[in-house]
Amino acid sequence: MAGRDTRFIIIGSGISGVLMAIRLLEQGYRNFTVLEKASEMGGTWRDNVYPGVACDVAAHLYTYSFARNPGWQTRYARGADIWKYNQGVARRYGVLPHIKYGKEVCSARFAEGVWQLTTQDGCEYQADVVIAAVGRLHHPVVPQIAGAENFAGAQFHTARWDQSVDLTCKRIGLIGTGSTATQVITALAGEVPALTVFQRTAQWVYPVKNTPNPWWRRLMFRLSPSHWKHYYLQLQSETEERGKATTGSAEARAARDKVCHDMLASIRDPELRRKLTPDYEVGCKRLVFSDGFYDAIQKPGVEVITEGFARIEPEGVRTEDGALHEIDVLVYATGFDAHAYLRPMQVTGMDGRTLDQVWQDLPLSYHSVMIPHMPNFLMINGPYSPGGSASVIGIVEAQADYLMQLIDRIVSDDVLLAPKEEASRSWLEGVRELARNSLWGTGGCQSWYLDKTGTPTLNPITLTELKEQIAQPDYADFVVEPRQRT
Ligand code: NAP
């Protein structure tokens, strides 16, 4: 490895992968490849094209801090516009020529100071440093419901939306009531003849208004970066305050509870209101933010079914009360397996230690960005990263700043760097203790945040706290070894 010639592989070309590519270029590291499994760049916003797909974090905040987009038309951006923005940034910053498509990494093996990556199509790549930017909500979960294979109509997960299916005049069945389902329901209610929502657990829904960004504001943001920056910081501080409700502030929680209860009271039919009233604390699951959900769910043709599934039949879904709910298309808005992070990739680190061995009990990492025994293998937005309703972009930018410091050390001293196991365990224990006592752990609900022990796999800290905690690496927590050249 020779300084700026250091070879990097970034896995994934979503928001985090593109960010890391830009940061490498900025620091003069040009010898890198982004391996992308799909045929186009992007992650979440490429994969999710369901009706109503949007980001419920304010668009100006869901933007790289260095690549402002004064042109957002509304407070919340549509998925397609975010993807377009991401593509534009990747193009503008010179990332696109570095991306290789159709390259799903199936294994990464460390030997003699170098990472050897193999992709599904049999190609091999060597890297001195690997950066996994694979996303946490990447593997769709489709529940196994008896008889699903006999369903006569189309059925698909929201992240695999089949755009060839014409929904006009179709009766739609939708399983789930999370953030994704709420967006689909709000988009389809009243547009299709029948929408049957199968709800296992009611959700707290926080009302928001997707107000347009008037032309004068867009112009102002275009002409004056300082106005844009001011607005960005204001949104960041609002989001941070909102996040404190999850991490403990009683006042913020009380205010949020009240808004959610008030909105629920807008449901006219007492039976529907009963069905939609959760039995756990507001904010225990990721709060759903919606402009219009409560109107949508009361539209003619929309029905909420709370009985469990007996089986799926060719004509529709039979519930445990014996009723057959006839539908033409079945949509699974059933979320993602966040615990399959990095999988099914086979990762083998120092001394033949596999990721499965290191992560046998828990996805052990140091500050969510490095794994013991995996030298020069970096993660961005790894397990136990902060989350909730914060902007993931702020979080990954903070992690990227930290990673670039590690990278500079790896390159300048030509070393292998991995966190010590004890330091990682100690960090993780602290985070898990915090997480267990957060609203996500104590609020009385099930969610994708929780692992099999019932502990949230997110760090309940704010962006400001994250930035403080990872401002500078503490090299006492790392094993730093000279690289053995062969
Ligand atoms: P989710 O929050 O995990 O919700 C999955 C839904 O499917 C839940 O209602 C769940 O019910 C239901 N479900 C799962 N398995 C089921 C089964 N076997 N039978 C019946 N119901 C079942 O998934 P998501 O809505 O896709 O959201 C995942 C995450 O993506 C969010 O938390 C958020 O972080 C992110 N997201 C963000 C945005 C945004 O605008 N920023 C939009 C969409 C998604 P239970 O509640 O009973 O488990």
Find out whether 382 and 363 touch, Cβ atoms under 8 Å.
yes
Q: Quick one: 441 and 404 in the same domain?
A: yes
Q: Quick one: 352 and 443 in the same domain?
A: yes
CA angle at 455 for the pair 449 and 459, rounded to the nearest 5°: 65
Whether the model pTM is above 0.75 = yes
Residue 57 Cα: closest atom of ligand 1: 41
User: Which of 103-136 are b and which e, b meaning 16 or more Cβ less than 10 Å from the residue's Cβ?
Assistant: bebeebebeebbbebbbeeeeebebbbbbbbbbb
Cα 440 to ligand 1 centroid, rounded to whole Å:
15
In 328-450, DSSP assigns E strands to: 329-332, 346-348, 377-379, 415-419
Q: Quick one: 60 and 130 in the same domain?
A: yes
| pLDDT of amino acid 261 | 86
Q: Quick one: 296 and 343 in the same domain?
A: no
Tell me whether the omega of the peptide bond preceding residue 344 falls within 30 degrees of 0, making it cis. Answer: yes
Query: Of 301, 335, 369, which one is at a domain's C-terminal end?
Result: 335
The Cβ of residue 339 has, within 10 Å, a number of other Cβ atoms equal to: 16
CA atoms within 13 A on the CB side of 297: 29
Total domains in the chain come to: 2
Domain-embedded: residue 273: no
**CA–CA dist 458, 462 (Å, integer):** 11
Find out whether 113 and 311 touch, Cβ atoms under 8 Å.
no
Q: Quick one: 172 and 321 in the same domain?
A: yes
| pLDDT of amino acid 381 | 96
**CA–CA dist 220, 230 (Å, integer):** 12
Q: Quick one: 60 and 17 in the same domain?
A: yes
Provide the residue range defining the domain that includes 330: 140-203+288-335
Domain-embedded: residue 213: no
pLDDT digits (tens, 9 = 90+) for 211-242: 999 999 999 999 999 999 999 999 988 888 77
CATH number at residue 15: 3.50.50.60
| pLDDT of amino acid 316 | 98
Q: Quick one: 118 and 144 in the same domain?
A: no
Domain-embedded: residue 149: yes
Query: Nearest CA to 195 among 335, 321, 305, 278?
Result: 305
Residue type, 148: A
Query: Of 335, 367, 393, which one is at a domain's C-terminal end?
Result: 335
| pLDDT of amino acid 485 | 62
Mutation choice for ligand 1 from 76, 179, 206, 290, CB with most ligand atoms inside 8 A? 179
Domain-embedded: residue 63: yes
HEC per residue, 323-379: CEEECCEEEECCCECHHHCCCCCEEECHHHCEHHHHCCCCCCCECCCECCCCCCEEE
**Cross-strand pairs, 416:** 481
Cα 100 to ligand 1 centroid, rounded to whole Å:
31
Find out whether 25 and 93 touch, Cβ atoms under 8 Å.
yes
Q: Quick one: 34 and 174 in the same domain?
A: no
Cα 338 to ligand 1 centroid, rounded to whole Å:
11
Q: Which helix (H) or strand (E) holds 197?
A: strand 194-198
Residue 334 Cα: closest atom of ligand 1: 7
Domain-embedded: residue 357: yes
Q: Quick one: 182 and 296 in the same domain?
A: yes
Ligand 1 pocket, CB under 6 A:
54-57, 137, 143, 175-181, 200-201, 286, 333-336, 446, 448
Domain-embedded: residue 278: no
Q: Quick one: 351 and 395 in the same domain?
A: yes
**CA–CA dist 146, 17 (Å, integer):** 38
Residue of minimum CA distance from atom 19 in ligand 1? 200
Domain-embedded: residue 403: yes
**Strand 114-119 relative to strand 309-313, pairing:** unpaired
Q: Quick one: 148 and 16 in the same domain?
A: no
The Cβ of residue 412 has, within 10 Å, a number of other Cβ atoms equal to: 9
Q: Quick one: 460 and 374 in the same domain?
A: yes
Cα 120 to ligand 1 centroid, rounded to whole Å:
29
| pLDDT of amino acid 257 | 86
Phi, psi of 352 (to 5 degrees): 75, 10
Rg (CA), the chain: 23
Domain-embedded: residue 214: no
One digit per residue, the tens of pLDDT, for the chain of length 486 reads 558 799 999 999 999 999 999 999 999 999 999 999 999 999 999 999 999 999 999 999 999 999 999 999 999 999 999 999 999 999 999 999 999 999 999 999 999 999 999 999 999 999 999 999 999 999 999 999 999 999 999 999 999 999 999 999 999 999 999 999 999 999 999 999 999 999 999 999 999 999 999 999 999 999 999 999 999 999 988 888 777 756 556 776 787 788 888 888 889 999 999 999 999 998 899 999 999 999 999 999 999 999 999 999 999 999 999 999 999 999 999 999 999 999 999 999 999 999 999 999 999 999 999 999 999 999 999 999 998 777 899 999 999 999 999 999 999 999 999 999 999 999 999 999 999 999 999 999 999 999 999 999 999 999 999 999 999 999 999 999 998 765
Query: Of 297, 318, 335, which one is at a domain's C-terminal end?
Result: 335
Which tokens belong to 11? 């896995």
